[in-house]
Structure 1
Amino acid sequence: MSCPLTAEATTIRLTKVDGCGRPICSADSGYVFDCFATFAMKTNTSDGTDVEYKAANGRSCGFKRGCPTFNGYDIELHFFSLAPEFIDIATGNPVYFGYDGKPIGFDDCQVSCNSGFALEIWTEVISDQCAVGASGSWMYFLLPWVTNGLLGDIELGDSAVDLTLTGATRAGGKWGTGPYNVQAKDATNAAGPMLTPLGAKCHRRIFQTTIAPPTATCDYAPVTGGVCLNPVP
């Protein structure tokens, strides 16, 4: 493998998941966009308990450092567009529709803690060579189960509006190898799903891919392939 140098983030895709972390397969369960400023994944850990053995004279007979517990990642996304489709998937709050049945807004009601979404993000890889049939190379980040999606404070004024989404990852879930083709499955660079699912204790997967990210749209994206055809039991 080469030594990939990753550059700017290019594309994010959100996918609705249910209360078990299973992708919700439907015509309005996905959303792809590229109009965002930053995306942060902050490690969340709990400190372990140190154990020290002290003699009566105060001398330390032994010491064992406590092992921290990894709780997951706290995410923070800074973006610009108040798209109802995005808010629906990211927060679980209801969409408000116009006379023609198209989404034109949303309601802020509650924090959705029992369902959530999967988040994928692509960053460009600086490389002098491309694989056969590929148009580039990207680092692919998958967080298959994010809950507690919450839209942050909104300040309206005479400058650009900076919007914030926060959430937290969970392990486990039923993402499997996913409903999308995100990596090459053979030497011709034909697109296929991930070859193996994440482990039950895993919160994130990162790998280099030569399959280009999806095209950003301003509408729902269908979730119908991959694991939707062969659901994880």
Structure 2
Amino acid sequence: MRLTALDECGVPLYDSALGSIITTGFISVSWEHETEEGTEYTSENAWGDFCIQEKDAPRVKWLNLGMDFCEIDPETMVMVAGSLANFDTDGMVGTFFDENRNVNAFAAEVWTRATGQPCNASGEPYWGYFAAAYVRNGMIAGGGTVENGTMNMEMSGNGFGAAPDPSDNAVSAWGTGPYADSPTVNPWPVGAFRYIGITDVQPPVSSNGARAIVVATGATEVTGAEGTLTPTNAGPPLTIAGLSTVIASPLTEWAVGSYITLGDGSLAHWGGSAWVAGAS
């Protein structure tokens, strides 16, 4: 399963360190259409026979999405249920829940092996691919029981039609997705809330927790202020340990007051030979 954080308008959160979660730690995912029955129109003549008997087609109001996890990172509860992250020096260790309304949105994609399908020209298997591009109202559906046994976590949400891109209402904010693989091939239509299909795009590798959709590879100093990340739309690493692959510019020690902000809200700067916690 791949979960992608969205803003309230359905746009992927490129600038978030919690933008993407790829996990094999789920048991099942359920998809159910919430429908409204069509209106009936009937009229009888004097003899009691129908002279009018019509019924509108039922309409789908939204998608009920259920997810049952056997292993779940705290980041998943933050992205899906809108809980409050709790960090220590090594990263996220838990999450707090309060009474506030969950304004988070997310997209969910699931791969499952397609049986009876030949491999593609590259010798790779085909997969069943299921997706919902705009899910809101995420919450924990089951309380979970602590006992001498397994403990699963049930989460749910409501899938709505893909939102239009704020800069171009003719296309959806999801498009073919924020990743380079594009399992749907063609862009996601505005208003479409669910996808079912076959793809030869292979399942992505588990991310072991959350990461940015586009992870920064470089950080440029802005003297005495917050620096910029590259490439465009890149998100910061979650913790200072993730900066090991980020190249600083310049490579000399940054000036007093210079810094970048990490995904856990802490600051870091380039000390001349290594990344150092806090502003310079």
Q: TM-score, normalised by structure 1?
A: 0.81
What amino acid sits opposite 1:147 in the alignment?
Answer: R
State whether residues 171 and 203 of structure 1, in contact with CA within 8 Å, keep that contact through their aligned partners in structure 2: yes
- Whether the 8 Å CA contact 2:82–2:103 is kept in 1: the answer is no
Hey, what's the Cα distance between the residues in 1 that align with 2:112 and 2:9?
28
Q: Which residue is equivalent to 2:53?
A: 63
Partner amino acid, structure 2, of 1:87: M
CA contact (8 A) 2:3 2:22 kept: yes
Q: Distance in 2 between matches of 1:137 and 1:119?
A: 19
Q: Which has the higher contact order (CA 8 A, sep 6+)?
A: 1
- Cα distance in 2 for residues equivalent to 1:75 and 1:22: 19
Out of 130, 135, 158, which is 1:146 matched to? 135
Count of aligned pairs: 207
Task: Calculate percent identity across the aligned residue pairs.
Answer: 24
Counterpart among 25, 29, 36 of residue 35 in structure 1: 25
Cα RMSD (Å): 2.2
Residue 133 of structure 1 aligns to a residue in which SS? Answer: coil
| Structure 1 residues 157-184: Cα deviation after superposition (integer angstroms, max 9, x where no partner) | 111002100111010321111111335x
Deviation for aligned residue 1:87: 0.8
The structure with the larger Rg is 2
Q: Does residue 1:159 correspond to 2:115, yes or no?
A: no
- The CA deviation string for residues 68-90 of structure 1, in whole angstroms up to 9 with x for no partner, is 11112101111122411111111
Structure 1 CA distance for aligned equivalents of residues 158 and 210 of structure 2 = 23
- Measured in 2, the distance between the counterparts of 1:128 and 1:142 equals 20
Q: Aligned partners of 2:152 and 2:64: how far apart in 1?
A: 19
Letter in 2 for 1:140: Y
Segments ≥4 residues shifted beyond 4 Å: 110-113
| Residue identity opposite 1:93 in structure 2 | S
**Cα distance in 2, alignment partners of residues 75 and 102 from structure 1:** 29
SS where residue 213 of structure 1 aligns?
coil
The residue correspondences of 1:114-153 to structure 2 (distance < 5 A) are: 114-127=103-116, 129-151=118-140, 152-153=142-143
CA–CA distance in 2 between the matches of 1:122 and 1:128? 14
Report how far residue 101 of structure 1 moved: 5.3
Taking the TM superposition and a 5 Å limit, the aligned residue runs for 1:191-230 are: 194-224=184-214
SS at match of 1:126: coil
Q: Classify 1:118/1:134 alpha carbon distance in 2 versus 1 (closer, same or farther; 3 Å).
A: farther
Indicate the larger mover: 14-23 or 151-160: 151-160
1:170 equivalent among 160, 180, 187: 160
Question: Which stretch has the larger CA shift, 103-112 or 137-146?
Answer: 103-112
Q: Secondary structure at the match of 2:192?
A: coil
Secondary structure (helix, strand or coil) at the match of 1:136 reads coil
Q: TM-score, normalised to structure 2's length?
A: 0.68
Q: How does 1:171-190 map to 2 (within 5 A)?
A: 171-173=161-163, 174-183=173-182
CA positional deviation for 1:59: 2.3
SS of 2:5 mapped into structure 1: strand
Which residue pairs with 2:238 in the alignment?
none
> In the alignment, which of 52, 57, 64 is matched to residue 74 of structure 1?
64
SS in 1 for 2:120: coil
1:76 partner letter: G
Offset, 1:217:
2.9
Answer yes or no: is the 8 Å Cα contact 1:39–1:76 preserved in 2: yes
Separation (CA, whole Å) in 1 of partners of 2:11 and 2:99: 21
Which runs of 5 or more residues in structure 1 are unaligned? Answer: 1-11, 184-192
**Unpaired stretches in structure 2, ≥5 consecutive residues:** 164-172, 216-230, 234-280
Asked whether the 8 Å contact 1:32–1:221 carries over to 2, the reply is no
